Amino acid sequence: MTAPERLGGFKILKHVVRFSVVSQEGSGPLPSEICKAVAEEKINLPYLTSVYDGQSWGLNLVVEALDEGKISRVLKQNFGKIFTVSPKSAVLSIFPHRKNPEITGKLFEVFDQEGLEPDAMANSPSTISVVFKEELLAKASDAIFEPFSFSAYRTPEDWKLAQEGKEQLYKEVVASYQEQRPKVYGLEYYEGQDFIEIKMNRKNMGPVGTSFRGFARSGLKLMFVATGPTSEEGKDILAFCLPAAESRIYGSIVQRIAPDVDIEGASSVTIFSMNGPHFGDRYGIVSELLGALDNHQVRPLALSCTIASISGVVPSRQCESAFEAIKERFEVPSLTRKE
């Protein structure tokens, strides 16, 4: 039997609501417009993903349960309709993933084995976050102890005992002010990446997870992962990035192991990531970022916002414009190219 992968820990955020939005390009709101409307109401966004598949935008937003009515009103007033709503949701986050596709692959496989279908998924530079219906949370938290071990907890029961009375530790305190230029600890970026999108039935998670483990055996690093909703019931877009030089390898791996999924061609992209002292507040942070990119005519292919970090994917030809936009709107002490 393979020894469980050793991770640092995991967190759970409960009492949240997931909203999913799918809009056609040119006939619906842009992600920047939705996030601006949310920011104006000071609605906290502990989790957000945005994925563009060339025809439509798919967004997943998570808000605290007490904000459900407010965000429903905002969407109705500004965009004319209510989109998919999943009350009584929760976010499970494991860390660190070390950009190792083996960890993401094992997570997909164990959820598939247990019949668990996550509603959304994203990663930050250190964390993988998965959105579930709250009723599935106990089963999901038990399941991750099969492929993973955690330094402080031997069993799910150990973890549950350690969490008693600490539910608020996951949540960030919402800022009572808006900075003129939000502070960023640092802006990092990765060049020479390919952007891949898979239209995936949630029941295809197992084979997709196995293909991700195949990436690990080929020595590839998984730099970005996010899912976005589609207009097709039960299907998501899974977007991820891998080194461009290895495009033949990952294409053949996916097609061999998961032949029933639709995989789109890759394009050359740059990934950026940043965090800052108020990124957990995020009701204004994402809006500021997307507004700045819009002003420079930069349209991110995907965005992942979870655990006080934001990661984005832009076409390589637009990376300099993206950096310029971010520096204009945020206080950025350093720009670092990562390998």
The answer to pTM > 0.85 is: yes
Q: For residue 1, is pLDDT > 50? A: no
Q: Which is it for strands 148-150 and 5-7: parallel, antiparallel or unpaired? A: parallel
- Residue of 32, 326, 31, 36 lying closest to 181 (CA atoms): 326
Task: Quote the pLDDT of residue 15.
Answer: 92
Mean pLDDT throughout 3-10? 85
What 3-state DSSP class applies to 102?
A: helix
Categorize the per-residue pLDDT at 247 as very low, low, confident or very high, splitting at 50, 70 and 90. Answer: low
Tokens of 258: 């998961």
Q: For residue 7, is pLDDT > 60? A: yes
pLDDT, one tens digit per residue, over 126-140 is 899 999 999 999 999
Task: Quote the pLDDT of residue 51.
Answer: 96
Cα 148 to Cα 136: distance, rounded to the nearest angstrom: 19
Task: Quote the pLDDT of residue 260.
Answer: 73
pLDDT, one tens digit per residue, over 251-284 is 777 777 777 777 776 679 999 999 887 676 567 8
* Residue with tokens 């991700």, as numbered in its chain: 212
Q: What are phi and psi of 175, to 5 degrees?
A: -65, 145
pLDDT, one tens digit per residue, over 310-333 is 999 999 999 999 999 999 999 999
Task: Quote the pLDDT of residue 167.
Answer: 53
Burial of 135 (0-12, 13-18, 19+ CB in 10 A): exposed
Angle between helices 247-257 and 205-217 (to 10 degrees): 140
Mean pLDDT throughout 218-244? 90
Share of the chain above pLDDT 90, in %: 52
Categorize the per-residue pLDDT at 175 as very low, low, confident or very high, splitting at 50, 70 and 90. Answer: very low
Q: Characterize 172-183 residue by residue with b for buried, 16 or more Cβ atoms within 10 angstroms of its Cβ, and e for exposed.
A: eeebeeebeebe
Q: How many residues make up the chain in this entry?
A: 339
Task: Quote the pLDDT of residue 183.
Answer: 86
Task: Quote the pLDDT of residue 164.
Answer: 60
DSSP assignment string, 223-282: -EEEEEE-SSTTEEEEEEEEEGGGHHHHHHHHHHH-TTSEEPPPEEEEEEEEE-TTTTT-
Categorize the per-residue pLDDT at 250 as very low, low, confident or very high, splitting at 50, 70 and 90. Answer: confident
What residue type is 40 in one-letter code? E
Categorize the per-residue pLDDT at 176 as very low, low, confident or very high, splitting at 50, 70 and 90. Answer: very low
Q: For residue 169, is pLDDT > 50? A: no
Whether the Cβ atoms of residue 223 and residue 194 lie closer than 8 Å to each other: no
Task: Quote the pLDDT of residue 267.
Answer: 78
